[in-house]
Amino acid sequence: MRSVGVDGCRSGWIAAVLDKGWELSIHSSFSSILELDPDLVLVDIPIGLPDREYPRACDDAARKALGRPRSSSVFPVPVRDAVYAPTYREACHINREVTGKAVSKQAFNIFPKIRDVDQALGPDLIELVLESHPEVAFWGLKGAPMAHYKRTKEGQKERLVLLEKYAKVGDVFISALDQFPRSKVAADDIIDAMVLAITASQGRGSLVSLPLDPPTDGTGLPMQIVYAPKTV
């Protein structure tokens, strides 16, 4: 089974493929990741954009599961029309008209990546590409939220120690740091992609959805965040 974890990075996307071994690669577009012959792809990007529902039930559930301070890593996903607005001002106006809330700069900055995935997906890919979230994935595999922030040395060590229980990651992580310059991909991006690949490798049947019965957006995409429960 070719399990793929995908995280956004400075140069586009980093994909971690876990099969008989590890393969890591950087991509400028999400559609090129679909050419890696994956059996399952978990990506850290919103899939399923609300028309009026705000916040999405999956975002609320993820924040409640993580608790403070990790809950801050999950932000409310703006409505579809706001995501496709050409300017920040227009996005804020549209989202405020529908939800009463403006759009955060953090959210607006990843709109191009949200659109990249949204435009690459269709009804035939609903089972192949699923939304996850690294902190939710770690929470699932550990059975508790991570204690340290992911960009600290303590946070990276904590996450790598946990991942090592599921797959050999230490040498792969070190090699990736040498292979990809920090101007293209941050260290925590690599770890995030790897936890999503390991989560996917647990098998589609083992994945749990937040919420358990996810609604779909206007295009039929499920609004959910998936994770794998602790097994070791």
Q: Please, which pLDDT band fits residue 53 given cuts at 50, 70 and 90?
A: confident
- Is residue 90 situated within a structural domain? no
**Predicted confidence (pLDDT) at residue 140 exceeds the cutoff of 90:** yes
Report the mean per-residue pLDDT for the chain: 96
Query: Domain containing 14: what range?
Result: 3-75+118-227
Mean local confidence (pLDDT), 194-206: 97
- Within its chain, how far is the Cα of 143 from the centroid? 18
- Is residue 113 situated within a structural domain? no
- Is residue 97 situated within a structural domain? no
**Predicted confidence (pLDDT) at residue 73 exceeds the cutoff of 90:** yes
**59 backbone dihedrals φ, ψ, rounded to 5°:** -70, -40
With a pLDDT cut of 90, the percent of the chain lying above it is: 97
- Is residue 28 situated within a structural domain? yes
- Is residue 214 situated within a structural domain? yes
How many other CB atoms are found less than 10 A from the CB of residue 113?
Answer: 19
- Is residue 62 situated within a structural domain? yes
C-alpha to C-alpha distance for 128 and 7, rounded to whole angstroms: 16
Number of domains in the chain: 1
Q: Which residue has the tokens 């083992």?
A: 206
- Is residue 59 situated within a structural domain? yes
- Is residue 157 situated within a structural domain? yes
> What angle in degrees, to the nearest 10, is found between the helix axes of 187-201 and 134-142?
50
